[in-house]
Copies of this chain bind each other. A is one copy, B any other.
Amino acid sequence: MEHLQQSFTVQYNYNVFFTSALFAVDNTLFSDFLRQLNPAVTIKKILFIIDEGVAEAHTGLTSEIKQYFNQYSQTQLVQDIIVIPGGELVKNDTQYLDRVLEAINTHGIDRHSFVAAIGGGAVLDMVGYAATIAHRGIKHIRIPSTVLSQNDSGVGVKNGINYFNKKNFLGTFSPPVAVFNDELLLNSLSDRDWRSGIAEAIKVALIKDLEFFEWLEANATALANRDREAMNYQIWKCAKLHLEHIRSADPFENGSARPLDFGHWSAHKLEYLTNFEIRHGEAVAMGIALDTVYSNLSGRISAADAQRVIAVIQALGFELAHPLLQVNGANSPILQGLEEFREHLGGELTITLLTALGKGEEVHEIDADILKQAAELLQNQAAQHSTTTVL
C-alpha cells in the first residue's frame, strides 16, 4: 500500500508583558489577559505556585492575589496557593513536581484553566513541566522574579526537571500562554542575583547586536549601581533578542540549530563542579570572557575588542576566571567539559565564537593550547584586580 504523508504546522503565540505591581487591584493587565483567552469556556480556574524566596521577600503577595481575584472574579482562583522552595532543589526532588500535579488533579485544573508560576528560573522550569504533561498541556503563565528569568529563561519555550542527576533530563519545549515581567519583584534580589542575570545580555549582545553591546558598555556602572531604568531597558532588550532568536531559528530544536549558548559550554561544567555555588550568570560571565579571549587568540577579533568585553564584565562586578577553568594537562575538568559537550551534541562539537563584537560564528574544533593560553591570561588579569590590559 502507498504510504501516507502527514504534514501540518502548529502556530504558537504569546506576549511578554512589562509592568509594575502586577496584582495591585487597579492593574487590569493580568485580568484583561485572562478574560480575552477562550471567552466561550464557562469555567476557568487559575492555580498559583510561588517560589518560597519570593513569598518571603514579598509577604503581602498571597493576600494581594486573593484580593485581586475577588475583584476580577471571572476566573476562579484556587484558594490553596502553593509555596515551594526555589533553586535547583525544586528540580532535583520530584516531590515538588508531584505536589503541583496533585494540586492540578485535586482542584480540577483542566485544559481551559491556568497554572501560574511566580519565581526564579528553577521554579518556572519545574512548574512549566508539570503544566505541560498534565492533561497533555495546561495553559501556563510565567511570572519571573529574577533578572535571569525576566530577560532570558522565563521568556523562552523550554521547561524541565533534573533526573538521574542530569540537568533537564526530563522536559519539553512548550511555550507559555503569557509572561508577565513585574519590575517590583526585582527589588528583593541580592546584588549578586541582580548582577548575575546581566550575563545573558552580554552574551546575546556579543553574538547578535553591537549597538546593544555598546549600550551595555555605557550603562555597566548604572546597572551595577541598581539603576532601575537601565535594568528595565536591559531586560526588555535582552528578552526581545532572545524571542527573535527563538522564532528565527528552530524553536523546538528539531534540526541541528543550536540554542543561544555563547560562553555556556564551560559555564555548565563550572556550575556543576562547584555544586552550583557559582551562580549560572557568574559562570556564564567567565565563560564569555574565556570564549572572547579565545576568539582573539585564534585570530577572529582584535585584542582591543576582547578587552572591551572584559571591561564590561568587570565593570558589572563579575569575576573573570576560576581555577577550575584552567587547562593543566589532558585531564583538566574544562577539557572533560568540552568532551561531554561534544557527546551531548551527538558527536559533533559546535561552539560559538566571535568574529566581531555583535557577530558570532559556529566552530567545530577547539585548540587545547589556545584554550590554555586564554584561561591563563584571564587568570592573570583577574589576579591584578584591575582592568589593566594584559592581552
Please report A residues at the B interface, Cβ cutoff 8 Å.
Answer: 1-18, 38, 40-44, 101-102, 105, 108, 110-113, 132-137, 155, 158, 160, 163-164, 166, 168-173, 175, 232-233, 236, 239-240, 243, 246-247, 251-254, 256, 343-344, 346-348
Contact = CB atoms under 8 A, between A and B. Distances in A.
Contacts of A239: 4
B43 A164 contact: no
Contacts of A343: 108, 110
Nearest to A170: B133
Given A40-B256, A42-B346, A43-B346, A6 B12 contact: yes
A236 B132 CA distance: 32
A278 B366 CA distance: 61
Contacts of A6: 12-16, 155, 175, 243, 246-247
A127 to B, nearest CB: 15
B4 A136 contact: no
A110 B232 contact: no
Contact of A253 (B3, B111, B163): B111
B8 A247 contact: yes
A133 B136 contact: no
List the 8 closest A-B pairs by CB distance, nearest first. A42-B347, A1-B18, A112-B346, A8-B247, A4-B16, A43-B347, A9-B9, A136-B171
Contacts of A170: 101, 133-134
A143 to B, nearest CB: 14
Given A18-B3, A252-B10, A105 B247 contact: no
A168 to B, nearest CB: 7
Contacts of A236: 1-2, 4
Contacts of A348: 40-42
B9 A11 contact: yes
A251 B347 CA distance: 33
A310 to B, nearest CB: 30
Contact of A4 (B113, B240, B256): B240
